[in-house]
């Protein structure tokens, strides 16, 4: 992800404004099996932290690496044990360093049968699994973005204990969020996994009502930002959730556009999104070898997990 330049902001806002012109319906709470309030309290920051530690032990996770493959297997093992079916969505893409094979991992709660991947549940919760590729140094990417992966795995556990709610969520672990060169450039380098996923999403029989993208959420010393490009109703519900959970001192509205995995979901899938990201400009270790385990905390992971579940709780209500 990267905070966009003035030129980048103009281009990004143009793409998003085009999407908003064709936006078909308002984003309102859905009459489906609700995410119960008790689910919010069931989230464990320590469990999420333990997942991040396990991923860190595999080493760097750039696309095509051994660490990435081990991470995929780890996710599949834990998700399957919780009743989630997974699907590897692999594709090859041209990059500035040549053709690279990427693999997104999709997960649906469906313990008794194979899910229908041609249709979408109401909600997507997503984040990137890959770490930035550095041929000349060891970059573990603990916060960027092992942290979101740990949170998502713990969300999977909580939802599996609230089975009706779990059926309404698809988890997506993106590959190739990071640029292969130094800087991310929209449509040229970076966001490979989310772009491919968004393009495939448009081929389904139905689209989700909301996509949530989380990134860099483990550092307790910086604010968690609500992306300014998020859908207005998603921003409003997030601010309501922040007050409910008394996280006013930890969560703020971002002052401007940030280029991250939510943008392809808006541009290519016309999807209402919520973007939650740690303020990486205040992380001196961002994209450096210092992005290690001691930079994150169970408490920060728990804040993000509970906030995400609280938002899902607010966007669902029992069927009439």
Quote the CA–CA distance of 19 and 8 in Å, as a whole number: 17
Per-residue pLDDT averaged across 49-77, rounded? 98
Enter the tokens of residue 41.
Answer: 């309290």
Other Cβ atoms closer than 10 A to 303: 23
Upstream peptide bond of 145 is cis (omega within 30 degrees of 0): yes
What is residue 101's predicted lDDT score, i.e. its pLDDT?
98
Given a cut of 60, whether residue 16 has pLDDT beyond it is no
What's the chain's Rg over C-alpha atoms?
Answer: 18
Please tell me whether residue 307 adopts helix, strand or coil conformation: helix
What is residue 206's predicted lDDT score, i.e. its pLDDT?
94
Given a cut of 80, whether residue 15 has pLDDT beyond it is no
Quote the CA–CA distance of 255 and 251 in Å, as a whole number: 12
Quote the CA–CA distance of 11 and 17 in Å, as a whole number: 10
Angle at 275 between CA 106 and CA 189, to 5 degrees: 70
What is residue 25's predicted lDDT score, i.e. its pLDDT?
52
- List Cα–Cα distances, 279 to 5, 7, 19, 188, 222, in angstroms: 16, 21, 26, 24, 6
At residue 3 the predicted structure's pLDDT band, cuts being 50, 70 and 90, is low
What is residue 135's predicted lDDT score, i.e. its pLDDT?
92
What is residue 12's predicted lDDT score, i.e. its pLDDT?
55
Given a cut of 70, whether residue 1 has pLDDT beyond it is no
Quote the CA–CA distance of 274 and 277 in Å, as a whole number: 10
**310 touches 159 (CB < 8 A):** no
At residue 7 the predicted structure's pLDDT band, cuts being 50, 70 and 90, is very low
What is residue 185's predicted lDDT score, i.e. its pLDDT?
95
Burial (CB count <10 Å: 0-12, 13-18, 19+), residue 62: buried
Per-residue pLDDT averaged across 299-317, rounded? 97
What is residue 14's predicted lDDT score, i.e. its pLDDT?
47
Per-residue pLDDT averaged across 193-205, rounded? 97
What is residue 183's predicted lDDT score, i.e. its pLDDT?
94
Quote the CA–CA distance of 120 and 152 in Å, as a whole number: 18
Q: Which residue has the tokens 């804040």?
A: 303
What is residue 37's predicted lDDT score, i.e. its pLDDT?
95
pLDDT per residue over 150-179, tens digit each? 999 999 999 999 999 999 999 999 999 999
What is residue 114's predicted lDDT score, i.e. its pLDDT?
94
Enter the tokens of residue 274.
Answer: 């919520």
The model's pTM is 0.94
Given a cut of 50, whether residue 24 has pLDDT beyond it is no
pLDDT per residue over 222-274, tens digit each? 999 999 999 999 999 999 999 999 999 999 999 999 999 999 999 999 999 99
Where helices occur in the chain by DSSP H, the ranges are 6-21, 37-42, 45-56, 66-81, 147-160, 163-166, 192-201, 232-244, 262-269, 298-314
Given a cut of 70, whether residue 21 has pLDDT beyond it is no
In this structure, are strands 258-259 and 30-31 parallel, antiparallel, or unpaired? unpaired
Domains, the chain, in order of start with CATH, read 2-317 (3.40.630.10)
- List Cα–Cα distances, 318 to 78, 160, 208, 308, in angstroms: 29, 18, 18, 19
pLDDT per residue over 106-126, tens digit each? 999 999 999 999 999 999 999
**208 touches 169 (CB < 8 A):** no
């Amino acid at each position: 992800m990267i905070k966009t330049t003035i030129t980048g902001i103009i281009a990004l806002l143009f793409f998003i404004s085009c999407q908003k012109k064709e936006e078909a319906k308002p984003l309102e709470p859905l009459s489906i099996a609700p995410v119960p309030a008790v689910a919010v309290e069931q989230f464990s920051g320590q469990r999420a932290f333990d997942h991040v530690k396990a991923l860190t032990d595999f080493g760097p996770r750039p696309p095509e690496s051994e660490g990435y493959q081990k991470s995929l297997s780890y996710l599949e093992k834990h998700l399957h044990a919780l009743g989630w079916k997974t699907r590897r969505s692999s594709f090859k893409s041209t990059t500035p360093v040549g053709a690279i094979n990427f693999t997104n991992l999709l997960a649906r709660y469906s313990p008794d049968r194979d899910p229908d991947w041609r249709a979408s549940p109401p909600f997507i919760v997503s984040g990137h699994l890959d770490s930035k590729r550095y041929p000349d140094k060891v970059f573990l990417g603990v916060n960027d973005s092992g942290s979101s992966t740990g949170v998502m795995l713990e969300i999977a556990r909580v939802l599996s204990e609230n089975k009706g709610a779990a059926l309404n969520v698809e988890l997506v672990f993106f590959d190739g969020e990071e640029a292969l060169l130094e800087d991310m450039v929209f449509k040229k380098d970076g966001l490979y996994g989310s772009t491919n996923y968004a393009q495939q999403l448009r081929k389904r029989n139905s689209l989700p009502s909301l996509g949530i993208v989380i990134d860099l959420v483990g550092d307790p010393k910086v604010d968690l930002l609500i992306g300014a490009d998020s859908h207005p109703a998603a921003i409003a519900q997030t601010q309501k959730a922040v007050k409910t959970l008394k996280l006013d001192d930890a969560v703020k509205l971002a002052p401007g556009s940030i280029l991250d995995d939510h943008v392809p979901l808006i541009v290519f899938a016309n999807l209402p999104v919520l973007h939650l990201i740690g303020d990486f400009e205040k992380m001196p270790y961002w994209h450096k070898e210092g992005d290690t385990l001691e930079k994150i905390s169970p408490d920060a992971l728990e804040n993000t997990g509970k906030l995400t579940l609280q938002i899902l709780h607010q966007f669902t209500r029992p069927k009439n």
